[in-house]
Structure 1
Amino acid sequence: MAKKSAKMKKSKAPKEKPHTPPAKEKASKQGAETEELLSSEVVYQGKLFRVLHDRLIEPGGKKSERDVIRHNGSVVILAIDKSKSKKDPWIVMERQYRHAAKQYLWELPAGKLDAGEEPLVGAQRELEEETGYRAKKWKPLVEYYGSPGFLGESMKVFQAEGLIAGDAHPEEDEEIEFRLVKLSEIVKMIEKGAIKDGKTLCSVLLYARKLEKKRKK
C-alpha cells in the first residue's frame, strides 16, 4: 500500500485566470480606449497646417512623444456623369503638378476645408472652383486618413452626380487641367501604375467595386 500511494499523481492547483489591469478593464467596458495628452506645443504654424509636438500616455499605458501635423481636414469629390453610360460612367479627373511628389499627377478634385466649414459645403465649393461643375445629387462615399502615423488630416470623399457644367475659377496658385475619363479607363491607368494619388486610388476602386456588386444583384 505504501508503494502504491507513492506513485499516485499529485493533484494540480487550478490555473489562475490572467489579471486584467483596472484601467484596461474599465476601458474595455466602455468600448473604447483613449490617450492622455500631457502637453502639446505648436512648433510650426503655416498657411495650410500646423505642426505640434505632443507628449502623451497612449491607451496601453506607454509614454510617448509625437510630432503631428494638424489640419482642418479635406474633401474629395468623385464627380460622375452617367448621361452616356450607366455601366461605364465618366469621371471628372484633374492633372496638376505636385511639388512634394516632383511630378504631374492625375487626381480627383479635392481641397482643404476652412475652419468650421461643413464638409459637404466645402466639397461643393471645391468642385465648382476647380472644374466649374455643380451637381444635383451628393452623398458620402468614404472617409479615411492618408498617413495617420504623423498626419491628422481626415479626407472625406463625396460622390456627386447630375453634373451641370459651368466656368471654373481656381485659386491663383492652382494650374489645373481637367477632363472627363471613363471609369474603365481610370481603372486601367491604376493597373498600369499611371495613377499614384492615394485619394484617387481609394475612391475610384471603392466606387468601381460598389458598381460591380450592384450589377450582379
Structure 2
Amino acid sequence: MSKKNKQSKSAKLEKAKASKTKPSKETEPRKPASATEETLISSKVVYQGPLFRVLHDKLLEPGGKPSERDVIRHNGSVVILAVDKSKSKKDPWIVMEHQYRHAAKQYLWELPAGKLDAGEEPLVGAKRELEEETGYRAKKWKPLVEYYGSPGFLGESMKVFLAEGLVAGDAHPEDDEDIEFRLVKLSDIVKMIEKGAIKDGKTLCSVLLYARRIGKKHKK
C-alpha cells in the first residue's frame, strides 16, 4: 500500500472515531436539572376558582427527567388540635367536629380546620378558625406537625397547631358551614380510629401523633 493511501485511510479512521465521541448538536442530550431541584419550563392556569387554581406544568424533574403535571395550588390550611386537660392530663378532652362532606359523600368526624387567606400567618389563621367554628379560644399555642395530604397532585400544605388552655365562647361559622362540635376523650377518639369510624386524614395524623407523645410523656 502506498504512503498516500495509508495516510488517507488513517484520516478516515480518525474522522470516524471523532464522530462517535462528539455527538452532533441535534442529538446532544439536554443538560440535566439539579439532583435536588426541578426546572419549571412552563405553567398554565387551566382553572381558577374561589378556593384553589389548577395548573398544567411542564418541567424537568430533579435529575433531568421531562414531565407534565396537573397540580392544584392552594394558599394552605391550618388544623387545630384543641385540648382540654382540666379533668385529666393523661386522657384529655379534644374538640371534635361532625359535618357533611360532599366530596366524601358522608358525614365525617374531624378536627377544626380551615383555609388560609393569601399572605395570612398560619397561627393567626388557626386562632381565627378555632373561634369561628367552635367559639373556643386558647391561651397556649404551638406547632405540632406539617404535612401534605395528597402531594401527587395537591400542593396544599396543612399546618397543625396544638391549642391548650381553652376558653369557651360563641361560635360564628360561615354561611356555608353547618358544624356540630363536642369534646371527646382522647382515648375514645383512638378507639374510633381503630374501629374505622374516623376517615379524615388530618384527624388521623394529628390525633395519633399527639396520643403517642402523651403516652411517651407519662411513661417517664
RMSD: 1.1
Structure 1 runs not aligned, ≥5 long = 1-21
Name the residue aligned to 1:92. 95
Q: Does the aligned pair in 1 maintain the 2:82–2:162 contact within 8 Å?
A: yes
- Offset of 1:167 from its aligned partner? 0.2
Name the residue aligned to 2:184. 181
Among 74, 79, 84, the alignment partner of 1:81 is 84
Name the residue aligned to 2:166. 163
- Percentage of pairs with the same residue: 86
- Offset of 1:60 from its aligned partner? 1.8
Task: State the SS of the aligned residue for 1:123.
Answer: helix
Provide the TM-score with structure 2 as the length reference. 0.85
Q: Are 1:200 and 2:216 matched, yes or no? A: no
Name the residue aligned to 2:133. 130
Instruction: State how far apart, in whole Å, the 2-side matches of 1:43 and 1:23 are.
Output: 28
> After TM superposition, which residue ranges in structure 1, 4 or more long, deviate above 6 angstroms?
none
- Offset of 1:23 from its aligned partner? 5.9
Structure 2 runs not aligned, ≥5 long = 1-30
Name the residue aligned to 1:5. none
Q: Match for 1:103: what amino acid?
A: Q
Q: Cα gap change, 1:23/1:68 in structure 2, threshold over 3 Å: closer, same or farther?
A: closer
Task: State the SS of the aligned residue for 2:174.
Answer: coil
- Offset of 1:216 from its aligned partner? 1.2
Q: Match for 2:37: what amino acid?
A: T
Provide the TM-score with structure 1 as the length reference. 0.86
Q: Are 1:37 and 2:28 matched, yes or no? A: no
- Offset of 1:199 from its aligned partner? 0.1
Q: Are 1:213 and 2:192 matched, yes or no? A: no
Task: State the SS of the aligned residue for 2:89.
Answer: coil
Q: Match for 2:132: what amino acid?
A: E
Larger Rg: 2
Deviations 1:60-109 (A, max 9, x none): 21100000000000000000000011010000000000000000000000
- Offset of 1:145 from its aligned partner? 0.1
Task: State the SS of the aligned residue for 1:135.
Answer: strand
Deviations 1:158-211 (A, max 9, x none): 000000000000000000000000000000000000000000000000000000
Instruction: State how far apart, in whole Å, the 1-side matches of 2:208 and 2:144 are.
Output: 12
Q: In the TM superposition, what are the counterparts of 1:94-133 in structure 2 within 5 Å?
A: 94-133=97-136
